[in-house]
Amino acid sequence: MEIKVIGTGSYVPERTLTNEDLEQIVETSDAWIRERTGIGSRRITEAGTTAMAVEAAKRALEMAQTAPEALDLIIVGTSTGDCLFPGTACEVQAALGAAGAACFDLSAACSGFLFSLNTACVYLESGAYQRALVIGADTLSKTVDWSDRSTCILFGDGAGAAVFERVEAAGGETGADGRKRADPDGSAGGRMQKTWGHESRVGPFIMKADGGRGEVLHCAGTPLRNPFIKEETGNKEKGFGYMTMNGQEVFRFAVKTVPEVLEALLEKAEVPPEDIRYFILHQANERIIAAVAKRMKQPIEKFPMNLERYGNTSGASIPILLDEMNREGKLARGDKLALAGFGAGLTWGATLLLW
């Protein structure tokens, strides 16, 4: 049994907001933003999260040559759905006509796609489902305080998607679990070596969270509105607000945890970093990515980036980059990819993918 990526897709809104545009609304400069973040522009949606998710999904399904009716599972990693309910995944299901799919959203902020991908693959691995559509879609533009220069320069909107399929390995011995095994000798120890062969497949993963540090990157939800709340609790004040962020804390968190989780994953999989063709990281800040590369003693060329054009698109950043690289022909069969995400929660994690 193996799990393959059979299609990728992405969508970013047409409307571009450049650093020069931001100079008109807050005290900032193109030079400052580029130097501190690497960001040159970002896209802003006028249609919302579901519309972007649907467009990315259609493109991924087209590449996968898969009909929406053939999907068993749709997971959308988002923290900025258009509605509190129904979930974005249900809205995507309706728009696509994927009547047979189980659908739910997964809220892990910028780690949303990565956590959704891992979740979907566990379902596929269990045999519960055959085909899953995984989407990362976010509209951070609606959470940003456009008068706060320390956050409004960072984020953009977008969506990315991938279709995963469970396939029985052709040939191969049957393992003790009764499943076909891709490597008949079964010599390798880690789950990745057992299943990483000649096809595009998902390897092991690590997911982490530290809920105790939620205030570092925070956005309150809808207010408590029932008439029974006592004023003195202060809970009535916890209304929907803007994003607040301790930028330096988030920066420190990212440059510490991302290399750590990548190193732990590579060790678990018994794969040296040199064997990784690309490290596809959450696109938050060029300096964070450069620091991770340095810490891992890997050349920066192995860390592709598109944040100059899109800024931080939260849960969408990894699948947008993956799709762009795929469509540009940059991914060759057999390439080992290490994906890593981090964000509010705090949440972070990494996954290995064999192309």
The binding site for ligand COA (CB under 6 A) comprises 28, 32-33, 36-37, 110, 149-150, 153-154, 245, 247-248, 250-251, 284-285, 312, 343
CA pair distance 352, 355, nearest whole angstrom: 10
Residue 152 annotated to the active site: no
CB of 64 to ligand COA, least distance (A): 29
Residue 157 or 199: which CB sits closer to ligand COA?
157
| Position 336, amino acid | K
Residue 141 or 326: which CB sits closer to ligand COA?
141
Residue 32 or 242: which CB sits closer to ligand COA?
32
Residue 130 or 246: which CB sits closer to ligand COA?
246
Residue 282 annotated to the active site: yes
* Coil, helix or strand at residue 206: strand
Block residue for tokens 């810490």: 295
Q: How far is CA 90 from the centre of its chain?
A: 19
Residue 306 annotated to the active site: no
Block residue for tokens 């705090």: 346
CA pair distance 244, 144, nearest whole angstrom: 8
CA pair distance 60, 10, nearest whole angstrom: 7
CA pair distance 103, 89, nearest whole angstrom: 5
- Which residue minimizes CB distance to ligand COA? 247
CB of 146 to ligand COA, least distance (A): 12
Q: Which of 90, 103, 110, 219 is catalytic?
A: 110
**Bridge partner list, 119:** none
CB of 28 to ligand COA, least distance (A): 3
Contacts 24+ apart (CB under 8 A), 149-152: 149/22, 149/26, 149/27, 149/28, 150/245, 150/247, 151/243, 151/244, 151/245, 151/247, 152/22, 152/25, 152/26
CB atoms inside a 10 Å sphere around CB 146: 12
Residue 304 or 315: which CB sits closer to ligand COA?
315
CB of 103 to ligand COA, least distance (A): 25
CB of 249 to ligand COA, least distance (A): 8
CB of 113 to ligand COA, least distance (A): 12
Residue 247 or 273: which CB sits closer to ligand COA?
247
Q: Which of 90, 103, 282, 326 is catalytic?
A: 282
In 3D space, the residue among 256, 247, 270, 272 whose CA is nearest the CA of residue 340 turns out to be: 256
Active site (catalytic) residues = 110, 282, 312
